[in-house]
Structure 1
Amino acid sequence: MAGKSSKGSKRLLDLRGQTWWFRMAIPASCRDYFSGKTMYLQSLSTSDLKQAMAQRDILEREVRTLFARVKSGQVISSDEEMAEERGRIYREVISVTRREGDNEALHEIVLAAEEEERSLKAKARERFSRALSGDHPVDHYFEAYLASIKLAPKTTAERRGVLNRFARWCLAEKLRLPDINRRTAGRYVTEAIEPMDRSTAKKHMTALRGYWEYLLMRGHVEGELKDSPWAGQEVASKKRRVERGEREEERPYTEDELKRLLYAPFPKGIDPEWEPLLRDALMISCLSGMRQAEVLTLWVEEVHDNVFDIQQGKTEAAARKVPIHPALKEIVTRRTEGKQPKDWLFDEVAELRDPGDTFGKRFNRFRKLLKVDDTRPGKRRSLVNFHSARKWFVTQARHAGEPVETIKDVVGHKADKKKDITFGVYTTGASPAQMKACVEAVSLPEAAKS
């Protein structure tokens, strides 16, 4: 299968005692920067393979980027980097001392910073001076910010793309970190974000606000959280009138679409070995409401006592026990038989470099070949995709009369504590019996009789 490596899911990972380490060979052209070392090593501080794999995927991109920067000369001598770090530390100390109002101490620190700046050589002095003044490119702290928020790899990549788009705009406008104020932020919102689809615009605003909150909290830019140039930068609604098609959103499958995906002859143009994977994953999502990533990354030990015991996920509410629908028993038995506890239920994707992305592309090709598609002008994605299975489950459960609160618990949606104190604060969720009844209230459409 394409994308396999000799170590499979443990690629670039090394277990030392009870701790996983990230291990990558350093290119010969970069070894001087790393003091002659041939291997880049970093402890992942976890014994959990899933967590290690998620960290590995993020760290691999960052380290490869670092290697590329070293090769291109963007990352230079350690003396210059040390000068930049010293300038940054001085800046933070000056900021704290100024807030405390200790003018005498502030004077002494500023004098010390000026003395150190004068003692440095030209390039090191420039790096020190820029760090001291906070004068960096806007993307200077991107990777530190992304590492701090610990999102899923796919979400991290999406947020990195959003921030990189802003960085490219700033580069074209010759703007650096100190130049970003309410006016320049407002101009970016007007020029780049307002023309976007509203849901896309919201993602961009969330990423930019989050990045600036990080910069303010770490003292990389001056001010308090309320001083963020993105605070209050709401995307203006273009018009109040709604035209035909404007409110069209991603939707559940129709009964006919789901029948084609589940029962139609497997289309030519895709490796037939993918049929069990695509259809098994789809059935599980349709009868549990589980997200694509939750289905694909299940371990055998997480399928027990008639539940899918989801240990991690997109949100805090994602960790939950979902009852296994009776119609899924054959799939579960077939996929767990003869496997070890930490083997993947869907072992076909365990050795892929990016299981979710590869599966998603294959599934999209599969549904398009079966003419299950709903692409509209102005919409980047089809209104039907794998996530439509989750939407289908929620819709069917609601039509079966299941309580909304129970459906939320099954699919991993958190109750809004501000809007619903009773269910958001005073309950611990649906009982196992309620969740089981909710799952079993949903059934797949029957195949057409030949």
Structure 2
Amino acid sequence: MANQRQYLEWHGQQWRVRVKVPARLRDLIGRGKLTHPLHTADLKDADARKWPIVSRLKGVIAAAERALATNDPLEAEALRHRLSNDEDDTQFAIRLRAEQVEGTEGLDRAKAFFALASGQVTPLGHHAAEFLSHKDYRLKSQGDFRRALDWLGDWLRDSRLPVALEAVRRVEAGRFLSESLVVGRSRQKATAYLGFIRQYWVWLLAKGHLTGENPWAGQSLPATPRQRREAESDKGKRPFTDAEVTTLLASAGGPLLNDLMPVGALSGMRIEEICQLLVSDCRGGVFNVWAGKTDNARRTVPIHSGLVEIVKRRSVGKKDCDYLFDDLPPIPNSRETRSDPAAKQFTRYRRKVGVDERPNGKAKSNVDFHSFRRWFIRKARDAKLAGAEGFDEWTLTWVIGHTDSDRDKSLDLSQHGYAGQDPETAKRALVEAVKLPEKGSS
């Protein structure tokens, strides 16, 4: 049950909101806690009323954090003024300082300083924490959102505009997309970052923090330039070739990768699914995958005969609650995925043995650990085309955790479950149909 007294304290025969100010910000804010009366003696009523006020007070703390963190001294000064009480002498000091800024840095900088310091505009990330709480993004998505917002702030600053929500009109949004967001990024990644920013504005407008139109609505990214005649062909992400699988499995990747790679190749599981396996998840000849990228990720995957020794060796002397791959560090607060260190180690190893493909100098390779999954799918398909029996195309969706909900329903009903056959038997037939390439194959 939630703690009703969280952020509340009893004061003067009524409840009030109290938010502690971090020690590093107390000199800047001028107090050790921020409070606001709720004018009620009823705890349940106070608990219901407190959250908008908590969000606002946390916004003050976030503004102080930005004032400390910004690399722009003038912006930091404006934010410090904003944190002061809006008394006449404070406003006079802001106007006087703005005149000084105009004389040294120009009218645009003076206007931006005055608007931010006097509270006429809202700092770009003022409501970011509340937005993220509302959206409940995963940590990676939270990082992507903050990264995109920082890029927008840098662009506004470079354009000598206030780093503020109100400074982003439709024309500025369009310029940011073409001058910053797409530079050095794939269209796919830029589209994803644009989605975060667009959703932030949708939420700001819905909550009444902004008025007017969404400047990001209807904005599109510049078309991808046509490939030059002399450019290398780039077909994007792909499976490993048999020769690449042989190279990766034959070389010395170390204790972790030497077990992780075969499991990826002979199960088709995602790297995070493998790294999340507990010893108890590997009983009865199957891997039990409890959660993953999609709802369909929850499934059982038969343990390939070529993996039995690895699973047995890694289970010896462990408790059911221990990880099968226990040679990974604990997950820090900065991320949710356990597999990150393994993925980075694999990338370094892959490049070392010469398994890489980055046409035209692209930032990310067309092959990565996920290419084992792609290879597994291709080999299962090839085995079926070559006459392998005991499974069909529907079986593949169960093994790899893809959805089959888009198939024609009548066909689905007639064929689902391999015409009545035990689906576990069909899955095992599919898994065993995938064979590691023999040495020297290409």
TM superposition score normalised by structure 1: 0.64
Is residue 145–residue 197 contact of structure 2 (8 Å, CA) maintained in 1?
Answer: no
Which of 147, 166, 171 is equivalent to 1:161?
147
The RMSD of aligned alpha carbons is 4.4
| Structure 2 letter corresponding to 1:191 | E
Distance in structure 1 (CA, Å) of the matches to 2:412 and 2:214: 31
Partner of 2:65: 69
2:267 is paired with a residue whose SS is coil
Distance in structure 2 (CA, Å) of the matches to 1:404 and 1:228: 45
Partner of 1:376: 359
Distance in structure 2 (CA, Å) of the matches to 1:395 and 1:429: 21
Which of 378, 381, 384 is equivalent to 1:395?
378
2:300 is paired with a residue whose SS is strand
Partner of 2:270: 291
2:142 is paired with a residue whose SS is helix
Which of 306, 309, 322 is equivalent to 2:288?
309
Distance in structure 1 (CA, Å) of the matches to 2:122 and 2:416: 48
Is residue 63–residue 126 contact of structure 2 (8 Å, CA) maintained in 1?
Answer: no
Distance in structure 2 (CA, Å) of the matches to 1:199 and 1:394: 24
Displacement of 1:379 in angstroms is 0.7
Partner of 2:310: 331
Moved more, 334-343 or 144-153: 144-153
Partner of 2:433: 441
Which of 203, 227, 242 is equivalent to 1:255?
242
Q: Which one has a bigger Cα radius of gyration?
A: 2
Which of 229, 232, 255 is equivalent to 2:215?
229
- Pairing 1:364–2:347 present: yes
Displacement of 1:387 in angstroms is 1.7
Change (3 A) 1:259 1:246: closer
Is residue 134–residue 177 contact of structure 1 (8 Å, CA) maintained in 2?
Answer: no
Identity %: 31
| Structure 1 letter corresponding to 2:180 | A
Residues 387-410 of structure 1 show CA distances to partners (whole Å, capped at 9, x for unaligned) of: 211111122122223655443333
Which of 184, 200, 210 is equivalent to 2:172?
184
Which of 395, 405, 422 is equivalent to 2:409?
422
After the TM superposition, which residues 12-411 of structure 1 pair with which residues of structure 2 at under 5 Å, given as runs?
Answer: 29=24, 35=32, 69=65, 72=68, 135-173=121-159, 174-175=161-162, 176-195=164-183, 196-222=185-211, 227-238=213-224, 243=229, 244-264=231-251, 266=252, 275-351=254-330, 353=332, 355-401=338-384, 403-411=392-400
Is residue 30–residue 70 contact of structure 1 (8 Å, CA) maintained in 2?
Answer: no
Change (3 A) 1:160 1:447: farther
Change (3 A) 1:66 1:397: farther
Distance in structure 1 (CA, Å) of the matches to 2:87 and 2:62: 30
Change (3 A) 1:260 1:207: same
Residues 345-367 of structure 1 show CA distances to partners (whole Å, capped at 9, x for unaligned) of: 11110436465332222212212
Distance in structure 2 (CA, Å) of the matches to 1:154 and 1:230: 22
Distance in structure 1 (CA, Å) of the matches to 2:397 and 2:415: 12
Residues 122-152 of structure 1 show CA distances to partners (whole Å, capped at 9, x for unaligned) of: 69x99xx989988322222333333443444
Change (3 A) 1:394 1:162: farther
Is residue 29–residue 71 contact of structure 1 (8 Å, CA) maintained in 2?
Answer: no
Residues 16-74 of structure 1 show CA distances to partners (whole Å, capped at 9, x for unaligned) of: xxxxxxxxxx98646888959xxxxxxxxxxxxxxxxxxxxxxxxx9xx9799289387
1:249 is paired with a residue whose SS is coil
Displacement of 1:415 in angstroms is 4.6
Change (3 A) 1:134 1:122: closer
Distance in structure 2 (CA, Å) of the matches to 1:351 and 1:206: 31
Is residue 250–residue 384 contact of structure 1 (8 Å, CA) maintained in 2?
Answer: yes
2:287 is paired with a residue whose SS is strand
Distance in structure 2 (CA, Å) of the matches to 1:141 and 1:429: 48
| Structure 2 letter corresponding to 1:146 | L
2:361 is paired with a residue whose SS is coil
Is residue 212–residue 228 contact of structure 1 (8 Å, CA) maintained in 2?
Answer: yes
| Structure 1 letter corresponding to 2:275 | L
Distance in structure 2 (CA, Å) of the matches to 1:385 and 1:202: 22
| Structure 2 letter corresponding to 1:256 | A
Is residue 25–residue 65 contact of structure 2 (8 Å, CA) maintained in 1?
Answer: no
Instruction: Give 5+ residue unaligned stretches, structure 2.
Output: 1-20, 34-57, 70-75, 96-114, 385-390, 418-422
1:400 is paired with a residue whose SS is helix
Displacement of 1:202 in angstroms is 2.2
| Structure 2 letter corresponding to 1:323 | P
Distance in structure 1 (CA, Å) of the matches to 2:152 and 2:270: 30
Displacement of 1:440 in angstroms is 2.4
The higher-RCO structure (CA 8 Å, 6+ apart) is 1
Displacement of 1:184 in angstroms is 1.8
Distance in structure 2 (CA, Å) of the matches to 1:263 and 1:139: 50
| Structure 1 letter corresponding to 2:157 | L
Distance in structure 1 (CA, Å) of the matches to 2:410 and 2:258: 35
| Structure 1 letter corresponding to 2:365 | S
| Structure 2 letter corresponding to 1:250 | K
Is residue 152–residue 314 contact of structure 1 (8 Å, CA) maintained in 2?
Answer: no
Distance in structure 1 (CA, Å) of the matches to 2:302 and 2:376: 13
**Aligned residue-pair number:** 348
Displacement of 1:301 in angstroms is 2.6
Change (3 A) 1:245 1:296: same
